[in-house]
């Protein structure tokens, strides 16, 4: 069988044990394991608030929506974002009728602080920072810029489950208003689909709870009439059905136990790759800062002829990938075409190497050998 580019490894028996508990208890929806997982995630990351959702995409939507509500942003206001990301980061901005303004990426494929500052206008309200491949990039500088210009900072932490800096989760840094994680099927902490939104303020965290569950507010009745009035609640907002469920949380709880161990293996594979490619003058390795604590969701190379290499690898039963195509090439973002020429150029040469728990050292050696055989 061909080597896949991304492939989750589930701890099947333990996952089934956790799921079985849900089924026997007759509790597969919101609550029970979802609350347990929120607590475990807070313990693991140090986030003060965490709310379990059915995806990162909906979490990013709520992040933008709540910031817009709380700060009186207007339709057409701008959020500076990256063109090298999965489209959800930018769709979340569009859902709320705000405008993604694209800035260039740096050597880590994260937002370049200098270009971000250049793209600020009097309509800029926030920055959407993607921790590309688990990298922290120049997040510290972006935080400084946001503080200086009074902008909010949303961290799309879809790739960052397990990334730390000196033992601290960057999503918890002062200046990050909200961090959103993904537990989608091929992410480092894989479930089927789910995600987590982590605010640093209680007001937004509470609002999230309501907006993610159809705008339902149980608080007033729950406080005064314990139990008896369970059916009686207020609906304060036209909210959404964005909450996560106990089955997914059951898988997440199991997978979380192995996250650090698995990320350590990812780093081991990355070291082998780096060693294997460092002497090839035609290959550029995408570096990570804080590489000893990076979650390495993705391992990227830049090569002269990406399409040809993809083809060659596939013929050798090795599936590589592309993360990501410059978003301004897509119809919905083509108003911004040409605004990030450097990122566009980078995107044309990016290729994603396989990186996951199923890879043996032999696989990694074979991949290195094949890439070096072709790129010369």
Ligand X SMILES: *Cc1c(COP(=O)(O)O)cnc(C)c1O
Among residues 251, 351, 287, which one has the least CA distance to residue 21?
251
Residues of span 110-149 touching ligand X by CB under 6 A? 130
List the one residue from 88, 245, 254, 295 that touches ligand X (CB under 6 A). 88
Nearest distance from C-beta of residue 148 to ligand X, angstroms: 26
CA 108 to chain centroid: 15
List the one residue from 34, 45, 57, 204 that touches ligand X (CB under 6 A). 57
- Cβ proximity to ligand X, 185 vs 264, nearer residue: 185
Start-to-end CA distance of the chain, whole Å, equals 27
Residues in contact with ligand X, total (CB under 6 A)?
A: 14
**Nearest-angstrom CA–CA distance, 200 and 70:** 14
CA 62 to chain centroid: 15
Q: Does 102 bind ligand X (CB under 6 A)?
A: no
Encode burial over 185-194: b for 16+ CB neighbours within 10 A, e otherwise: eebbbbbebb
Nearest distance from C-beta of residue 179 to ligand X, angstroms: 12
How far from 305 is each of 142, 272, 283, 371, CA to CA, in Å? 32, 23, 10, 12
Nearest distance from C-beta of residue 376 to ligand X, angstroms: 32
Burial zone of 51 (CB within 10 Å; 0-12 exposed, 13-18 middle, 19+ buried): buried
Among residues 231, 252, 241, which one has the least CA distance to residue 38?
252
Nearest distance from C-beta of residue 280 to ligand X, angstroms: 27
Q: Does 184 bind ligand X (CB under 6 A)?
A: yes
Nearest distance from C-beta of residue 109 to ligand X, angstroms: 11
**Nearest-angstrom CA–CA distance, 161 and 257:** 12
- Cβ proximity to ligand X, 105 vs 375, nearer residue: 105
Q: Does 56 bind ligand X (CB under 6 A)?
A: yes
List the one residue from 34, 45, 182, 347 that touches ligand X (CB under 6 A). 182
**Nearest-angstrom CA–CA distance, 324 and 332:** 16
Contact status, residue 107 vs residue 92, Cβ threshold 8 Å: no
Options 13-21, 53-61, 269-277, 366-374: segment touching ligand X (CB under 6 A): 53-61
**Nearest-angstrom CA–CA distance, 21 and 15:** 10
**Nearest-angstrom CA–CA distance, 276 and 73:** 49
Options 40-48, 83-91, 224-232, 312-320: segment touching ligand X (CB under 6 A): 83-91
List the one residue from 78, 104, 112, 156 that touches ligand X (CB under 6 A). 156
Binding mask 191-210 for ligand X (x = CB under 6 A): ----x---------------
- Cβ proximity to ligand X, 181 vs 273, nearer residue: 181
Residues near ligand X (CB under 6 A) = 55-57, 85-86, 88-89, 130, 156, 158-159, 182, 184, 195
């Amino acid at each position: 069988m061909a080597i896949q580019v991304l492939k989750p490894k589930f701890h099947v028996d333990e996952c089934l044990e956790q799921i079985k508990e849900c089924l026997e208890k007759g509790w597969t929806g919101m609550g029970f394991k979802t609350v347990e997982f929120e607590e475990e995630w807070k313990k693991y990351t140090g986030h003060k608030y965490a709310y379990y959702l059915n995806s990162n995409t909906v979490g990013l939507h709520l992040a933008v929506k709540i910031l817009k509500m709380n700060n009186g942003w207007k339709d057409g206001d701008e959020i500076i974002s990256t063109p090298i990301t999965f489209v959800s980061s930018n769709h979340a901005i569009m859902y709320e009728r705000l405008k993604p303004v694209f800035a260039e990426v740096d050597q880590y494929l994260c937002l370049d602080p200098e270009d971000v500052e250049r793209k600020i206008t009097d309509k800029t309200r926030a920055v959407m920072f993607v921790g590309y491949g688990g990298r922290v990039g120049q997040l510290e500088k972006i935080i400084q810029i946001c503080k200086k210009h009074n902008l909010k900072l949303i961290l799309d932490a879809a790739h960052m489950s397990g990334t730390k800096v000196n033992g601290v989760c960057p999503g918890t840094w002062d200046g990050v208003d909200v961090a959103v994680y993904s537990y989608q099927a091929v992410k480092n902490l894989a479930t089927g689909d789910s995600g987590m939104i982590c605010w640093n303020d209680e007001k937004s965290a509470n609002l999230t709870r309501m907006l993610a569950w159809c705008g339902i507010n149980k608080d007033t009745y729950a406080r005064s009439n314990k139990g008896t009035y369970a059916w009686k609640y207020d609906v304060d907002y036209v909210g959404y059905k964005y909450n996560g469920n106990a089955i997914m949380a059951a898988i997440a709880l199991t997978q979380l136990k192995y996250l650090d161990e698995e990320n350590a293996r990812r780093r081991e594979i990355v070291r082998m790759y780096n060693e294997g490619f460092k002497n090839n003058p035609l290959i550029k390795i995408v570096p990570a800062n804080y590489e000893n604590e990076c979650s390495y969701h993705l391992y990227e190379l830049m090569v002269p002829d990406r399409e040809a290499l993809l083809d060659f690898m596939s013929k050798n039963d090795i599936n590589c990938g592309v993360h990501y195509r410059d978003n301004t090439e897509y119809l919905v973002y083509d108003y911004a075409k040409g605004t990030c020429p450097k990122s566009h150029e980078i995107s044309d040469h990016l290729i994603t190497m396989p990186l996951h728990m199923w890879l043996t050292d032999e696989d990694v050696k074979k991949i290195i050998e094949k890439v070096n055989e072709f790129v010369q």
